[in-house]
Structure 1
Amino acid sequence: MKKKILGCFVIVVLLAVLAAIPLAGYYLYFKPNDEVVPAFAEGELVLVVEGEKVLSKNSPKILEGEVLLPFDIVKEYFDPHIFWDEALGKVTITTKDRVIRMKTDKLDAIVNNQPITLNIPVTVENDVVYIPIEFLAEFYGIEVSYVEKSNVVIIDYKNSIKQIAEPIDPEAVVRKGRSIREPIIRKFDLSSGDTAENTLRIFEEYDKWYKVRTWDGAIGYIEKRFVVVKKLMVEKISDDKTPKPAWTPPKGKINLAWDMIYTRREDHSSLGEMKGLDVISPTWFQVKNAKGELINRAYSKYVDWAHSRGYQVWALLSNDFTDSEMTSKFLNNTDARDNLIREILAYAALYNLDGINIDFENMYISDRDVFTQFVREIAPLLREQGLVVSVDVNDIQCYDKKALSEAVDYIMYMSYDQHWSTSPVAGSVAQVSWQEKIVKRVLEQEGVPREKLLLGIPFYTRLWKETVDESGKKKLTSSALTMKQAKNLIIENNAKVEWDEESGQFYAEYTKDNTNYRLWLEDANSINLRTSLVHKYRLAGTCAWSIYFVSEDIWDVLNKNLKEIESYQEWLEQNRNNQYKFP
Structure 2
Amino acid sequence: MKKKSVPVFFVVAIIIISIVVLVVGNIIDKRTPSKKHASEEDIYKLYRLYDGYTEDGDKISFEGATKAADNQVAILLQNEIVSDRAFIDNGELYVDYEFVKNSLNNRFYWDNNENILIYTTPTDIVKAGVGSQEYYVTKAKKTAEYTIVKAEGSKVYVALDFVKNYSNIEYTLYDSPNRVCITNEWGVEENISTLKKDTKIRLDKSIKSDILYNCKSATEVVVLDKGKTWSEVITEDGFFGYVKTDSLRKQTTKTLQNDYVEPEYTNIQKDFTINMAWHMVTAQASNNQLMDLVTPAKGLNVIAPTWFRLSDNEGNMTSLADANYVTRAHMVGLEVWAVVDDQSADSDNKQIFSYTSKREKIINQLIASAIEYGIDGINVDFEYIAKENADDYIQFLRELSVKCRINGIVLSVDDKVPEASNSYYNIEEQGKTVDYVVMMGYDEHWGVDSGAGSVASLPWVTKGIENMVSKVSSTKVVLAVPFYTRIWEEDASGNVVSCASVDMTTAATTLANNGITPVWVDNVGQYYGEYPSGDNTVRIWLEDAKSIEEKLKLIGTYELAGVAEWRIGLENNELWNTIIKYTN
TM bucket (normalised to shorter chain) is 0.7 to 0.9
Looking at structure 2, the residues matched to 466 and 21 of structure 1 have their Cα atoms a distance apart, in angstroms, of: 87
Does residue 51 (structure 1) correspond to residue 74 (structure 2)? The answer is no
Looking at structure 2, the residues matched to 226 and 248 of structure 1 have their Cα atoms a distance apart, in angstroms, of: 61
8 Å CA contact retained: 1:366, 1:398: no
Alignment CA distance shift 1:227-1:309 (3 Å)? farther
Q: Name which of 567, 572, 578 aligns with 1:546.
A: 567
Alignment CA distance shift 1:164-1:552 (3 Å)? same
Once the two structures are superposed, residues 333-389 of structure 1 have per-residue CA deviations (whole angstroms, 9 ceiling, x without a partner) of 333223323333444455555543221124556545544454455445544655343
Does residue 284 (structure 1) correspond to residue 289 (structure 2)? The answer is no
Looking at structure 1, the residues matched to 125 and 74 of structure 2 have their Cα atoms a distance apart, in angstroms, of: 30
Looking at structure 2, the residues matched to 19 and 401 of structure 1 have their Cα atoms a distance apart, in angstroms, of: 70
Task: In structure 2, list runs of 5 or more residues that go unmatched.
Answer: 45-65
Looking at structure 2, the residues matched to 505 and 396 of structure 1 have their Cα atoms a distance apart, in angstroms, of: 26
8 Å CA contact retained: 1:99, 1:111: yes
What residue is the counterpart of 1:455 in the other structure? Answer: 479
Looking at structure 1, the residues matched to 175 and 15 of structure 2 have their Cα atoms a distance apart, in angstroms, of: 57
What residue is the counterpart of 1:274 in the other structure? Answer: 297
Alignment CA distance shift 1:293-1:2 (3 Å)? farther
Q: Name which of 401, 405, 415 aligns with 2:428.
A: 405
What residue is the counterpart of 1:138 in the other structure? Answer: 165
What residue is the counterpart of 1:566 in the other structure? Answer: none
Task: In structure 1, list runs of 5 or more residues that go unmatched.
Answer: 191-197, 468-473, 564-583
| SS across alignment from 1:27 | helix
Letter paired with 1:430 = V
Offset at 1:393? 1.9
Q: Name which of 307, 310, 317 aligns with 1:294.
A: 317
Offset at 1:101? 3.6
Alignment CA distance shift 1:424-1:60 (3 Å)? closer
What residue is the counterpart of 1:102 in the other structure? Answer: 128
Looking at structure 2, the residues matched to 382 and 199 of structure 1 have their Cα atoms a distance apart, in angstroms, of: 53
Does residue 331 (structure 1) correspond to residue 353 (structure 2)? The answer is yes
8 Å CA contact retained: 2:202, 2:210: yes
8 Å CA contact retained: 1:496, 1:510: no
| SS across alignment from 1:186 | strand
% identical aligned pairs? 23
Once the two structures are superposed, residues 66-89 of structure 1 have per-residue CA deviations (whole angstroms, 9 ceiling, x without a partner) of 111123332442245654433322
Q: Name which of 9, 12, 34 aligns with 2:11.
A: 9
Offset at 1:202? 1.4
Q: Name which of 481, 491, 498 aligns with 2:518.
A: 498
Looking at structure 1, the residues matched to 186 and 505 of structure 2 have their Cα atoms a distance apart, in angstroms, of: 58
Offset at 1:446? 11
Q: Name which of 420, 427, 440 aligns with 1:414.
A: 440
| SS across alignment from 1:527 | helix
Letter paired with 1:282 = P
Q: Which moved more, 1:125-134 or 1:434-443?
A: 434-443
What residue is the counterpart of 2:345 in the other structure? Answer: 322
Q: Which moved more, 1:439-448 or 1:7-16?
A: 439-448
Letter paired with 2:199 = A
Looking at structure 2, the residues matched to 6 and 246 of structure 1 have their Cα atoms a distance apart, in angstroms, of: 103
Offset at 1:272? 0.9
Alignment CA distance shift 1:114-1:18 (3 Å)? same
| SS across alignment from 1:391 | strand
Q: Which moved more, 1:121-130 or 1:368-377?
A: 368-377
What residue is the counterpart of 2:179 in the other structure? Answer: 152
Provide the aligned C-alpha RMSD in A. 4.3
Q: Name which of 439, 445, 455 aligns with 1:430.
A: 455
Looking at structure 2, the residues matched to 204 and 426 of structure 1 have their Cα atoms a distance apart, in angstroms, of: 52
Looking at structure 1, the residues matched to 255 and 489 of structure 2 have their Cα atoms a distance apart, in angstroms, of: 71
Q: Name which of 150, 160, 168 aligns with 1:123.
A: 150
Q: Name which of 257, 264, 273 aligns with 1:242.
A: 264
8 Å CA contact retained: 1:278, 1:312: yes
Looking at structure 1, the residues matched to 231 and 195 of structure 2 have their Cα atoms a distance apart, in angstroms, of: 12
Looking at structure 1, the residues matched to 199 and 443 of structure 2 have their Cα atoms a distance apart, in angstroms, of: 70
Looking at structure 2, the residues matched to 68 and 295 of structure 1 have their Cα atoms a distance apart, in angstroms, of: 43
| SS across alignment from 2:580 | helix
Offset at 1:135? 0.5
Count of residue pairs the alignment pairs up: 536
Once the two structures are superposed, residues 9-52 of structure 1 have per-residue CA deviations (whole angstroms, 9 ceiling, x without a partner) of 22232233224324422321x22222233674464533332312
Looking at structure 1, the residues matched to 244 and 420 of structure 2 have their Cα atoms a distance apart, in angstroms, of: 52
Q: Name which of 365, 371, 382 aligns with 1:343.
A: 365
TM-score, normalised by the number of residues in structure 2: 0.76
Alignment CA distance shift 1:104-1:12 (3 Å)? same
What residue is the counterpart of 2:87 in the other structure? Answer: 61
What residue is the counterpart of 1:578 in the other structure? Answer: none
Letter paired with 1:54 = V
8 Å CA contact retained: 2:481, 2:563: yes
Offset at 1:517? 8.7
Offset at 1:176? 2.7
| SS across alignment from 2:518 | strand
Looking at structure 2, the residues matched to 3 and 245 of structure 1 have their Cα atoms a distance apart, in angstroms, of: 106
TM-score, normalised by the number of residues in structure 1: 0.76
8 Å CA contact retained: 2:352, 2:359: yes
Once the two structures are superposed, residues 381-418 of structure 1 have per-residue CA deviations (whole angstroms, 9 ceiling, x without a partner) of 54465534323225898732672233235443333345
Offset at 1:110? 4.0
Letter paired with 1:460 = Y
Looking at structure 2, the residues matched to 397 and 239 of structure 1 have their Cα atoms a distance apart, in angstroms, of: 33
Letter paired with 1:327 = N
Looking at structure 1, the residues matched to 392 and 547 of structure 2 have their Cα atoms a distance apart, in angstroms, of: 37
Alignment CA distance shift 1:350-1:142 (3 Å)? farther
Letter paired with 2:222 = I
Looking at structure 2, the residues matched to 466 and 157 of structure 1 have their Cα atoms a distance apart, in angstroms, of: 56
8 Å CA contact retained: 2:526, 2:542: no
Offset at 1:290? 1.2
Looking at structure 2, the residues matched to 201 and 311 of structure 1 have their Cα atoms a distance apart, in angstroms, of: 62
8 Å CA contact retained: 1:430, 1:503: no
8 Å CA contact retained: 1:379, 1:407: no
Looking at structure 1, the residues matched to 421 and 373 of structure 2 have their Cα atoms a distance apart, in angstroms, of: 31
Looking at structure 2, the residues matched to 69 and 426 of structure 1 have their Cα atoms a distance apart, in angstroms, of: 49
What residue is the counterpart of 2:578 in the other structure? Answer: 557
Looking at structure 1, the residues matched to 37 and 148 of structure 2 have their Cα atoms a distance apart, in angstroms, of: 40
What residue is the counterpart of 1:174 in the other structure? Answer: 201
Once the two structures are superposed, residues 517-565 of structure 1 have per-residue CA deviations (whole angstroms, 9 ceiling, x without a partner) of 98655432332233234456665543210112233321210121345xx
Letter paired with 1:504 = Q
Letter paired with 2:309 = Q
Offset at 1:479? 5.8
Looking at structure 1, the residues matched to 403 and 234 of structure 2 have their Cα atoms a distance apart, in angstroms, of: 40
Looking at structure 2, the residues matched to 500 and 446 of structure 1 have their Cα atoms a distance apart, in angstroms, of: 29
Offset at 1:175? 2.7
